Amino acid sequence: MQFLTWLIKRLGFVILTLVAMSMLIFLLVEVMPGDVAQTVLGQSATPESVAALRESMGLDDPLPVRYGRWAGGFIQGDLGESLYMRGVQINTIFWRKVGHSVILALTALLFYVPLSIFFGVLAGVKAGKLTDSIISFFGLATMALPEFVSGILLITLFSVKLSILPITSVIPIGQSLWGNLHILILPALSITFVMFGYVSRMQRSSMVTVMNSDYIRAATLKGMPRGYVIFRHALRNALLPTITIIGMNMGWLFGGLIVVETLFGFPGLGSLTLSAIKTRDIPLIEACVLFITAIFVFSTFLTDMLYVYLNPRIRFKGGDA
């Protein structure tokens, strides 16, 4: 019951955040200098035609009205019409790219989560030893490389020198991403590079904290084998902060996707966002940014739930004897 109340409260907050965020994004984009109608009509626009377009786009309405119209459309699943590709409903292009990006992000997660947890735990268990130093430095180095630098390195190695993976992540016409999963590898690896350092360092430090804790000492002095102590006693507690980090960084991951997708020409949300920004396609920018933030909000929410599920201290809060 208590959990349900918590869940409802939390969900309410998620919705509230999304509403506030949509306002923020709307304001951010709408308040920017430059006239949308002018941008659409471009160089040849006469004042009359600009005014006509403003009128037909409803740009002269007061801000709240415009926000209401925009947000109302969103709720009904109508993302609006692209400014740049006139007449194109954003819905018709948006979800395909989102799907691609989600697949890419999940692939990257599949790469870096096990890798960084494994090496983070290893470094944490071997804290202070050579293994630890090597893993830690490697983590630091990969974390320090911006995605585009590691991406270029990967391209040079796998595509130029070895020629085993494509430079560009283009989906051949008439095929879907599922038939071309190999184009995911390099982009996912470049994300893995950055995230690996971040997550493995987190995992290491939480593992070190846990391994130095009283209950690990107690478990060892109960005569439990080391491997057992690490897996049964330490890992679960040491994973908790890492899970939070991974969840909290989902938004960040999608931010990183912009760079990676641009570098590899991957047809996803990230490259869509950049092209929307470059073409000042305001409805599309709004849709992209709102979606990226929504991913963040929901992944935070899911992380919280997972955290609660894994952490009996929170799960049974208030259930004291």
Partner 1 sequence: MTNDFVLQIKNLSVSYRTLNDAVSAVRNINLNVGKKESLGIIGESGCGKSTLSYALMDYLPSNGSSTGEVLFRGENLLTKTQKEMMAFRGNRIAMVYQNPYSSLNPSLTIGYQLDEVTMFHRGYKAKKARKASVEALADLYIGDPAGVARRYPHQVSGGMQQRICIAMALLCRPDLIILDEPTTALDVTTEVVILDIIGELKEKYDMSMIYISHDIGVINKVSDRIAVMYRGEVVEVGDQRTIFKHPEHPYTRALINCMPRAGVVKEEVRLNTIPGYVARRSAADTGCPFVDRCEKRNADCEAKYGMIERASGHFAACDRAYAEDVPDRKRAALKIPKVGNGSAKEEILLEISDLYKYYGNQHRRVRALDGVSVSLEKNSVLGVVGESGCGKSTMGHTISGLMAPTKGKILFDGIDISISWKQRTPEVLRDIQLIFQNPGRSLNPSFTLEKIIGRPMKKLLGIQSREERKKRIVDILQKVDLGEEYLYRKATQLSGGEKQRAAVARAFSIAPDLIVCDEPTSALDVSVQASVLNLLGDLQNESGAAYIFISHDLNVINYISDYIMVMYLGRICEYGRKDEVVGPPYHPYTQALLSAVPDVDPSLIREPVRLEGSPPNPTRKITGCPFAGRCHRKIGPICDTTPPPKVQASDDHYIMCHLPLDQLGDAELDKPGNLTKTESLMKTVKA
Partner 2 sequence: MKKLMLTSLVLVFLLSAAGLFAGGEAEAVEDKMIIKVAEQVPNLITPGVWDGQAFSLNPSIYDYLIEMDANTGELIPALATEWTTDDGIVWTFKLRKGVRFHDGTDFTAEDVKFTLERTQDPALGHLKAQDFSVVEKIETPDPYTVVITLKEALPTFMYAMTDYNMAVLSSEYDYGTYGESAPMGTGAFKMEQLIPKESALLSKNESYWQPGLPKADELQIYFVADIDASVSLLEAGEVDIVPQISPTIKTRLEGLGGFKVVSPYQESRFIAMAQDREPFDDNLVRLAFKYAVDPEILAKACQGTLGETIYYNETPIVNALAQYKEIPNRGQDIDKARELLAEAGYPDGLTVDFYYGSDHPYGTEIAQTLKELTAPAGFELDLKGFPRDIYLSQYWMNAPMSLTGWGVRVDPSMLLSLAFYSKGPWNESHMNDPEVDDLIDKIKGEVDDAKRQSYYDRLQEAFFERGTTLNLQVPYLVGLSENVKDYRQPVTMISQLKYAEIE
Partner 3 sequence: MKDFLTMLKRSPAAIIGISILLLWILIAIFGPSISPYTYTAMDMENQMTAPGQGGHLLGTDSLGRDVLTRIMYGSRTILTIALMTSLFSSIAGIIIGFSAGYFGGNIDTIFLRVMDIVMAIPPLVLSMVVLGILGDSSILSLTIIVSIAYTPATARVARGALLSCKGFEYVDAARIRGENHLYIMFVEILPNTIGPVLVEITARFAYSIMMIASLGFLGVGLQPPTPDWGMMVIENKSIIREAPWTVLYPSLAIASLVIAISLFSDFVNKVMVNDK
Binding site for partner 1 (CB under 8 A): 128, 213-215, 217-226, 228, 232-233, 236-237, 240, 310-313, 316, 319-321
21 binds, among partner 1, partner 3, partner 2, none (CB under 5 to 8 A by kind): partner 3
Site for partner 3 in 92-121 (CB under 8 A): none
Our finding on whether 280 is near partner 2 (CB under 8 A) is yes
Residue 231 beta carbon to partner 3: minimum distance, rounded to whole angstroms: 26
For the record, the structure tokens of 38 come out as: 């002018």
319 binds, among partner 2, partner 3, partner 1, none (CB under 5 to 8 A by kind): partner 1
Our finding on whether 97 is near partner 2 (CB under 8 A) is yes
289 binds, among partner 3, partner 1, partner 2, none (CB under 5 to 8 A by kind): partner 3
Our finding on whether 274 is near partner 3 (CB under 8 A) is yes
Our finding on whether 175 is near partner 2 (CB under 8 A) is yes
59, 102, 127, 152: which one contacts partner 3 (CB under 8 A)?
152
**Beta carbon nearer to partner 1, 237 or 293:** 237
Residue 156 beta carbon to partner 3: minimum distance, rounded to whole angstroms: 8
Q: Is 60 within 8 Å of 54 (Cβ atoms)?
A: yes
For the record, the structure tokens of 121 come out as: 């735990």
4, 5, 31, 42: which one contacts partner 2 (CB under 8 A)?
42
29 binds, among partner 2, partner 3, partner 1, none (CB under 5 to 8 A by kind): partner 3
292, 303, 304, 308: which one contacts partner 3 (CB under 8 A)?
292
- Say if residue 49 is exposed, middle or buried (CB neighbours under 10 Å; 0-12, 13-18, 19+): middle
Separation of alpha carbons 38 and 15, rounded Å: 35
Our finding on whether 256 is near partner 3 (CB under 8 A) is yes
3-state secondary structure string across the chain: CHHHHHHHHHHHHHHHHHHHHHHHHHHHHHCCCCCHHHHHHHHHCCHHHHHHHHHHHCCCCCHHHHHHHHHHHHHCCCCCECCCCCCCEHHHHHHHHHHHHHHHHHHHHHHHHHHHHHHHHHHHHCCCCHHHHHHHHHHHHHHHCCHHHHHHHHHHHHHHHCCCCCCCCCCCCCCCHHHHHHHHHHHHHHHHHHHHHHHHHHHHHHHHHHHCCHHHHHHHHCCCCHHHHHHHHHHHHHHHHHHHHHHHCHHHHHHHHHHHHHHHCCCCHHHHHHHHHHCCCHHHHHHHHHHHHHHHHHHHHHHHHHHHHHCHHHHCCCCCC
Site residues (CB under 8 A) for partner 2? Answer: 34, 38-46, 48-49, 52-53, 56, 84-88, 92-93, 96-97, 107, 110-111, 114-115, 117-118, 121-122, 159, 164-168, 170-175, 179-185, 231, 262, 264-265, 267, 271-272, 275, 278-280
Site residues (CB under 8 A) for partner 3? Answer: 13, 16-17, 20-21, 24-25, 28-29, 32-34, 137, 140-141, 143-149, 152-153, 156, 160, 251-252, 254-256, 258-259, 262-263, 273-274, 277-278, 280, 285, 289, 292-293, 296-297, 300
